[in-house]
Structure 1
Amino acid sequence: MFGGFVFMHLIKRGQVYYFNRWVVGRVLRFSLKTNDRYRAIAVSARVGKKVSRWELYLDYKEIKQRALQEAQKAHADWLTDHFNGVDLEVGNHDLPESPYDSEYEADSAAMGVVQERLTKGTLLPDEVEIALSDLLYYALKRQTLEGWNQPKNLLESMKGGSFRDVRTSDEPFNALVEDFIEGRRLKNPGTKASTHQEYVDHVNEFWLLMNKPALSAVDNDLADQYLKNIQQLPKHSNSAKYKGKSPLHLISMDLPQSDRLSGTSINNRISHLSSYCEWLIRQGKISSDPFSGMTVVLKDKQPYAPFSHEDIKRILSSKLYNHSHPKFITGNRRSNWWLILIAVFSGMRLAEITQLTVDDLREEDGVYFFSINREEGKTVKNKNAERAVPVHSFLLDLGLLEYASYLRKENIDMLLPNLLSDRKKPGDGSSRWFNEKYRSSEFPDFVVEKKVFHSFRKTFFTTCSNKDPSVSYRAVLQEVVGHENQKAKELGSSATYMGGFELPLKAKAVELFTFDGIDHVRDRLKGKANWRQLKLP
C-alpha cells in the first residue's frame, strides 16, 4: 500500500513517531502524535507527498541558480578563447564544414533544440540543469555579440547590475559544516562515519590554516593561497617530529618533499572543500565555489584511472540497469542504457559513440561492426580513428540489432537519439551527464579516484592486452581502438580491410574483453533489466 520510502522518513522517539526528512538543506522533523505504527505510516505518506511537491518547486529554483553559474563559467571560457584568437566563424580551415554560416546561427539552432525539449518535458530530472545551463550559455553569448554590434545594448546591459554578489555573511567559514554533514548522512546513509568526518576535518583545517576567515572572505585569492600552503604540510602530522606544531609553524619548517602531503591527498581536500562550497551556494551563503576546477597535477600518474572489473559490474547494476529501482522504467533513457554498454565493450571514444547513426551499424563477411567515419559531417580525431570496430557478442546478445531495427521503423537516424546536446564538441553533453551527474550521484568514489567516462576505453584496451600480450594481437587492438599502429606491418597479409586487419581477426580481439561474472550480468540485462522496459528513447 505504501512505498518503501515512507519508512525512511519515520523515526520513533520514546513511544511517539516523528516525520523526519531532509528538505532543501534542512532537517524537517515533527511529531505525528501517535504511537500506532500503521497510522504513522499513513500520515507520513500523505505528508511526504505534499513535501515532495514543495521540494520539487524549491529544487527547480536551486537548479536555475546552479545552471546560471555554470553558464557564466562557460561564457567566460568562450570569451577567453575568442580573445586568444579563436574565430567566431564556424567555417574555418581547422574545423569540418558546418551547415551554418556563423556561430550565431549555430547557437540559434542549438537553442531551438534545447527549448523544444524543455517545453515538451522530454528531459529527465538529472538532464534539466545541464539543458538550462546550455540555454543560458547561448543567451549570454547572444547578449555579448549583440552588445558588440549595438553599443547601445551594451550600455543598457550594464545598468541593471545583473550579477549580484550574495556573499554578505560574516559567519565563520566552518560554521555550517555540521549542517552540511547532516545532509550527507541522510542522503548517503551507507557512507562510513570516517568519510563524513574527513569533510569536517578538512573544512576545519582550511579555516585554521587560513586564519579563521568568514564566509564572505573566502574567494579565489584565498583558495589559491591555501593551495600553496597545503603543499607545505606533512602527510603524517601526528608523527613525533611534527605532532603539536601549528599549521603555520609547519609551513615555516620547509619540510622535505618526501614528508609532504601527496597530490592525491591534496586533491581530496580540495574536492571536499568544493563540495561544501557547492552546498553553501545552494543555501544562498556564497555566490561561487572558489575551489571549482582547482587541482594538483599528480606526477607520474594518468589524469584518469581505468575502471576495475568490479567497477564495471557495479556500474552495470546501478539504477540505469537495476529493474528494482523505483524509477528504472520511467527515469532512464534507452540511449544512455546502450551508451555505457557500447563504451564498455568496444573501447570507442565517447565522441565516436555519440555520432553513430543507425546506418553505421553494418555487416560484412558475417561480422557486425560499427563504422567510424566522416560521413554526413561527422568528425573523427585523426586518420587512424576512421575504422571498423566489430560488435562484441555481449551487445548482440542484449538485442542491439533488434534495437537498431526498432529505430529504423521509427525513422530515427541516430543510433543513440535524445542524448544531451553538445556545447562545444561531439560527446560533450553525454560527458557532462555521466561525469557530473550520474557518476557523482551513483559513484562519488569515482570522482576522488579520477575515473571518468574515458576510463571505459582504457579498461577495454588493458583487459584485452592482458588476455593476449603478444605483439601481433596488440597491433590488432591498436587498430580496433584507433591508436596509431606502428607494428601492423608485422602481420603483413592480414592487413586488408580499410588498409588494416581483417574483420574476423579484429572480432577475435574484441572478444578478448571479458570478466568474471559476465554471464550473470548478461542474463540479468537480458531479463527484467533489458532496454525494452525503458519508456524514454
Structure 2
Amino acid sequence: MSDPNIKTALRNYLQEALQKLRTKHLTTSVGKGVHTDPWDGYTAVEADLAAIDQQTRQMRRDIVRRDIRAVESIADRLLPGLETPQRVELALGLLQAHVQLLGKSKEWLTNGLIEEIDLSEHTEQLGNAIPLLTKSSDQEAKPATDSGPTFSEALPPFIELMTQEQGWRGQTLAQNRATYRMFAECCGDRPVSQYARKDLTQFYDLLRGLPALYSKSKEWSSLPLSEIVKRTKGTGHPRMTMKTVKRHFSALGRLFAYLKRRGEYVGENPAHGFEFPTKGRARNKRQMWEGEKLQKLFASPVWTGCLSETRRSTAGSLIIKDEKYWLPILGLFHGNRLEEFAQLVRSDVRCEGEIWFLDINDDDGKQVKNEQSKRRVPIHPRVRELGFLRYVEATAPDPTDRIFPKLQPGGPDQKLGYTFTKWWSRYRKDIGLYERGLDYHAFRGGVTTKLTAAHVIEDIRNELLGHEGTSVDQRVYQKGLPLAVLAEAIARVEWSEFAVSNSQPLSAAFTSAEAK
C-alpha cells in the first residue's frame, strides 16, 4: 500500500474497531449473541460463529470482485475527496480490516478473552496483511484464495435449514448430529471442498468396525472411535448393522448435496454409491402383529379385564380405557408412529364433511419425524365403534387438553411415548408375547401390508402413513389427498384376529362443531 495516508487511516480504524469489539464481547450478557441473536436449537456462541463465517465469506468475495459498496460510506468518512483509485484502495483495505476483526472475534468466542490485546502487534500486521488488490500499471492484481467453509462452519446453517424446512427435531435431529460429530472425528474438521471419496470410505470402514452398542458402554465412553474399533476387533461383539451405516451415509449425503447446491463442494457427492448389503429379504427383517400372536395380544387382560390399574397383566374384571388400552388399538388400525398419537390434544381430533380424522401436526411443541409426517388420518370405523370419540369427549373436554393425560415426557428427546414403551415391553413379557422386533412399530408394518393387499395405491399409502413419495409428483406436487379417499382406504384395514368389542353406543355429544 503506497499511500501513507491510507495506511495510517486503516491502522487507526482497526485499532479503534478492535477496542470497540472487545468492549462488546465483555459487555454482552451470558446467553446473548455478540453478532446475532441465537437461533432455535443453537447456543449464542454457535449462532455467532455461523454468522461470522457467513460474513467473512461474503467480504472475501467482495474483495476479489472489488465490490466496495458495503464500506463506501466509511471510506468517504475517513478520507473524503479521494480520487477513484485511492478511494477503491481504501475501501478494499476496510473490507480486509473487517475480515481481520471477524477473525479476532471468532478467536475470542472460541478461546475466550484470556489476555490483554497488544494492539501494536495487530496494527503492525495490517500493512502486510492487506493484499494489493487493485491493478497497477505493470501487474495484474492477484485475489486471495478462498478454500470455503470448514466442516464445523458449514454445519450450523445446514442444520438450521433442515430444522426449519424439513422438520428435523427430536430423535432425527439427534441422530444426524451424531453422524456429523462422528464423521468430523474420523476425517477431521477440514474445508468441505477438500473431502474426497477416500474420506467417506475411511468413515464407512470405521462404522463397520464399531460395536452395535458402542455408545452405551461406560467402558468405551471416553475412547476415540478408532480406539474402540481397535480394542474390540475379534472380540465377538455384534457390529453396527448395515441399516445403521446406511442411515449415517444418508445424513452425509444430504449434507454434501446441500454443499453442492451452494457451490461449496464440486464434483460427485462423495457419500453416494456405497452399498449396504443385508442378509435375507428386507420385508422379512421386521415382524408384524398377525395370526395367533395378534389374537392372543388382544385377548389379554388389558382388553378383556385386569385386576387393577397397577396389575394390568393379571386377569380380573376391570377394563381401564386409557392410553394402555387405546394406543395399541390405534396402532393396529392406523399404522401410526407411537409419538404421533401419544401427543394428540382435543383440537387434533376433528371432523370435516362427516369424516372424523386425527390431525398430525407439530403445533405447540409437538414432535413429528419430518414434514411428510404432518397429515390427516381418518379414524378407522372399527375404532369409532369401540367408543374412541366418547373417550376423547370425557377425557379432554377443552381444545388444549391431551388425549392421553397420564403420559409423561421422558428419555433424551422428552417424548410422551417413552414411559408407554417401557410399560409395553414389560406387559408383553408378562403375557408371554415378548419378541425382539414384535413391538409397537410392528403395527405399522401390518397396516402397510393390509393396505397393499387391498390394492391401495402407493401415494394413498404414503399419505396415510406419513411416508415421502418416491416420484416427483408425490414429493413435490401432491399437496394432500381428499379425506374421502383416505377414509375409504383406511377402512380396508381389517383384522379377523381382533375380537375386542364395545356394546355401548357412541356419544352424540362430541360433535364436529365442538371438535372445530
Q: TM-score, normalised by structure 1?
A: 0.39
- Please tell me whether Structure 1 or Structure 2 has the larger radius of gyration of its CA atoms: 2
